[in-house]
Chain A
Amino acid sequence: MRAKFVLTEAATGLWRNVTMTIALILTTAISLALLGAGGLLYTQVNKTKDLLYAQVEVTVFLETTVTPEQKDAIQSKLESDSEIKSVTYESKQEAYERFKELFAESPDLVENTKPESLPESFRLKLEDPSQADNIDAKYKNVAGVDIVSTQQELVGRLFDAIDAVKNLSLVVSLVSGAAAILLIGNTIQVAAYSRRREVSIMKLVGASNWYVRLPFVLEAAVAGLIGAVLASIGLAIAKVIVIDDALKALGQNSVVPSIGWSEIAVTAPILALVAVLTAGVTGWTTLRFYVKV
């Protein structure tokens, strides 16, 4: 096999249908970028889940009319509960400090709120954060307990939103991936058609299938590879411009971990591999139907 011959043929082919090649590269790049984004989101969501769960706190708010006896009874019951890791009491004054901090940007609200009007509470860390509903069921009807806040709803809604984005990006990447595959097939057909004289002579003089098809398959694979490189660059730019900024806006100690360069570095070669394999296999399959021996 003469490598130089095959490579020259592939390069000539790419250049000959340069508009088609560009379309192919762009479509591949877009679908790969979406696929990569979906993959990054997926790992991100899992990491966020772990972090969020570690921070989930169940709060048992007490009624304003709670008696000291009731308070003691609740506290000892909580402390002896095997599902609960730690119990912290929060007085009205402590609740007020936290409230002031939380609403520091609305001084009017802080002004008009008295420490007396905030409820006392027990803040709990659970052994298994996903069992927060159990605690809710166990304590909400105990005398002196007002409500049990589990944050479950908030966390659930956040995950629903992230899952929706993740699924959307996967669907979009699948659709554009299908478009890319069709485009690869089409580009190869055009390439084979524009070189039908060469192909017919190659077959006539007894060139092996590898020799006839490899330049076309290489063409597709190279276009796919360029697409993957563009997609990886796109992801890196998106990380810097979109994601890092968005996370900064969410705050320093946000629960959403940042996407690191290491994730991008892992994603890029996977995208390249997916691109080259898909392009190569699509190319070869197209030629099986299009360039018969």
Chain B
Amino acid sequence: MWLDSAPVITLDRVTKTYPKSRRPALDDVNVNVEKGEFVFFIGPSGSGKSTFIRLLLKEETPTTGKVLVAGRDVATIRPWKVPQLRRSVGCVFQDFRLLPNKTAAENVAFALEVIGKTRSVIRRVVPEVLSLVGLEGKENRYPHELSGGEQQRVAVARAFVNRPLVLLADEPTGNLDPDTSIEIMRLLDRINRTGTTVVMATHDSNIVNQMRRRVVELDRGRVIRDQARGVYG
């Protein structure tokens, strides 16, 4: 059904050179991510994975080339429309990025409050998404009362609560032990099965090898491999 629909993410000959840097962080990159895909972006530090994610969020703009998210050219989005873009892209990071003075439920609710959702919507949706990520009964714990894996679940709940088109995950298992990492991967897999596109940057070879999903390998800003059902290699 999504055969002839536009890709969720398109990078068209994208080059990104940071000021004061001689080598581009991304060098002539062409990638399409279709709706519902699960894609790993792998490569060593400095290979351009984070730049890729920053481009999708319009935290950076490409030096040349086009970045399209859900058919919209990120470079030409007016500044006041950027929040709309970010609402269609959920984000999870290595360091969880939770507010330490808010409980798990409040952290998720915060993301809804700041985009103007009504209290009744928040009251209904927050418990739903927290049970979806397996945090039933821990809604009122503060981040420091949760394990690393549980904190990352809160972060995933927060990223997913708006049902984004794409879930971006930047090294989401970077701070977790192998067993916990696998639990988080199961969670991301479950979210992917709901139809949400998942793009994950990682250099965790175990996970990539176990999941057997599409792998895009970056090296010094270039795509050196794009393989369906790939391994870390």
Contact = CB atoms under 8 A, between A and B. Distances in A.
Contact of B97 (A204, A208, A209, A211): A204
Interface of B: 57-58, 79-80, 82-88, 91, 97, 99, 110-111, 113-116, 118-119, 158-159, 162
B113 A204 contact: no
Contacts of A2: 113, 116, 118-119
B169 to A, nearest CB: 13
Nearest to B87: A206
Given A204-B86, A206-B85, A211 B116 contact: yes
Given A205-B159, A206-B162, 17 more contacts: A2-B118, A2-B119, A201-B97, A201-B111, A203-B86, A204-B57, A205-B111, A206-B84, A206-B86, A206-B88, A206-B115, A208-B83, A209-B83, A211-B114, A211-B115, A211-B116, A293-B58
A197 B114 contact: no
B82 A1 contact: no
B83 A206 contact: yes
Contact of A205 (B79, B82, B115): B115
A200 B113 CA distance: 15
A204 B205 CA distance: 28
Contact of B110 (A201, A208, A209): A201
Interface string A202-240: 111111110110000000000000000000000000000
A200 B87 contact: no
- Most A Cβ at <10 Å: residue of B84, B99, B114: B114
- The main secondary structure of chain B at its interface with chain A is helix
Contact of B99 (A1, A198, A203): A198
Nearest to B88: A206
Interface of A: 1-2, 5, 197-198, 200-209, 211-212, 293
B85 A208 contact: no
A195 to B, nearest CB: 10
Nearest to A195: B99
A208 B111 CA distance: 12
B85 A205 contact: no
A205 B162 contact: yes
- Most A Cβ at <10 Å: residue of B88, B97, B116, B162: B116
Contacts of A204: 57, 86, 91, 97
